[in-house]
Amino acid sequence: MTKNNPQQTALAMPAQNGQPVLHPDRPLSRGAKCSRCRAQAEIHLPSHHANFCPDCFLHFVRTAVVRGLKEMKFRPRPLLVAVSGGKDSLAVWDLLHYLGYETKGLHINLGIPDFSEASSRAVAAFASVRDLDWAEYSLQEVFGYSIPQVQRLLRGKTCSLCGQLKRALCNRLTIKEGFDTLVTGHNLDDEASRLLGNLVGKRLEHVHKQYPYLPSPHPRIPAKLKPLYRLEIKELLAYCQLRAITPVQETCSFARGATSRTFLQALEFLEGSMPGTKRSFLFAYLRDTKLKEQLGSWLDTHEQEEPSAEPEPKDGYGMCQECREPAYGQRCGICKLRERLQKKERIAPA
């Protein structure tokens, strides 16, 4: 584990256009005190009933990550960070690097005009300032089709297919890059809205998969870590401003109103009159003792294992007869999706 870093003090500077204000419509008055050091406060966190000056806010964010990792009983090791170029993935990379973890970035270029080039540039700029290592893979090269091609051939569910591809390929590329743990930038808002969606849809079997640390269930599937699960979107936006992190500004041309957004809006509505609701809703489930017991035995059985070069059938997993990656049936989801695309292409060539 490398202890770093010479850049961290220089980067901890105020945003160029003034201090970040979490509620621009309700800026803090002169004389508002930081809850930690009593200096002038700049940032208001209603769900914590606290105000912070910029330095204490950074301390608050880092403490949230450290506390989360401690609660997960995460044992430090090198981490591959999935970076899209958005604020969450860049923030989590920055935080882990600051905290001394050995990290490498993983970016999948989806081939979406303008958006993918801009995302790639955002990752490159971030990594270059901090002298961080990262790898970029083209979806077209590793899977055979870019997202615009997937959209043209299958239409309709582009985001869900894109999500499926990113999840599966990030798993495979993590192992290929020689890591056993994949970090993602999921934040408290993502997790709370996903939990609400799972409960509304009565997908209770998915709830346990929301734990912020999931050990590897198979030698060729990495463990998953979500260090930002205690931090809200607004807190991460302020963190990026203070750390001079510039996420991609372009939006994906395939973005549509996802249902998770509707669940998040419902939670925001509750949060407006009862600050802290999102947080207590999510943590009530994460701290559920039965859920923890289930996970505890799972953690105990999986935690000691190291990834091996050869896939072995385990926990219901077989091996895809085409690509030899883990699969529940004879073929994995990625090979099945590729075949569907190939069939469509034969019917409707470009």
The residues of the shown chain that bind ligand SF4, judged by CB under 6 A, are 110, 147, 158-159, 162-163, 252, 254-255
In the complex with ligand SF4, the residue whose CB is nearer, 3 or 256, is 256
DSSP, collapsed to helix, strand or coil, labels residue 338 as helix
Q: For residues 22 and 139, which CB has a smaller minimum distance to ligand SF4 in the complex? A: 139
Task: Rounding to the nearest 10 degrees, give the CA dihedral for residues 273, 229, 70, 300.
Answer: 120
* Residue number, 165 or 228, with CB nearest to ligand SF4: 165
Collapsed DSSP state (helix, strand, coil) of residue 317: strand
CA–CA dist 304, 108 (Å, integer): 29
Work out how close the CB of 76 gets to ligand SF4 at its nearest, in angstroms, rounded to a whole number. Answer: 31
What is the smallest separation between the CB atom of 329 and ligand SF4, expressed in angstroms?
25
Q: 147 or 183, CB closer to ligand SF4?
A: 147
- In the complex, the smallest distance separating the C-beta of residue 147 from ligand SF4, rounded to whole angstroms, is 5
Residue 118 vs residues 84, 111, 240: alpha-carbon distances, Å: 10, 11, 17
Q: Is 323 exposed, middle or buried (0-12, 13-18, 19+ CB in 10 A)?
A: middle
- Burial status of residue 54 (CB atoms within 10 A of its CB: 0-12, 13-18, 19 or more): buried
Helix residue spans in 178-258 (DSSP H): 188-200, 204-207, 233-242
Shortest distance (Å) from residue 110 CB to ligand SF4: 6
| Residue among 48 and 166 whose Cβ is closer to ligand SF4 | 166
233 CB-contact burial (10 Å; exposed 0-12 / middle 13-18 / buried 19+): middle
98 vs 115, beta carbon nearer ligand SF4: 115
Q: Closest CB to ligand SF4 among 111 and 311?
A: 111
**Dihedrals φ, ψ of 215, to 5°?**
-65, 165
Minimum CB separation of residue 252 from ligand SF4 in Å reads 3
State the minimum distance, in angstroms, from the CB of residue 136 to ligand SF4: 15
Q: Which two tokens stand for residue 268?
A: 């925001």
Give the containing element (helix H, strand E) for 81.
strand 79-82
Contact between 50 and 235 (Cβ < 8 Å): no
Least distance from ligand SF4 to the Cβ atom of residue 150, Å? 9
Nearest approach in angstroms of CB 255 to ligand SF4 is 4
Among residues 125, 72, 56, 54, the alpha carbon closest in space to that of 94 is found at: 125
Q: Which amino acid is at 185?
A: G
| Number of other residues whose CB lies within 10 A of the CB of residue 1 | 10
User: CA 114 to CA 125: how far, in whole Å?
Assistant: 16
Helix (H) or strand (E) holding 327: strand 326-327
Please identify, using beta-carbon distances, which residue of 118 and 244 lies nearer to ligand SF4.
118
Q: How far is the CB of 161 from ligand SF4 (least distance, A)?
A: 8
Nearer to ligand SF4, 50 or 159 (CB): 159
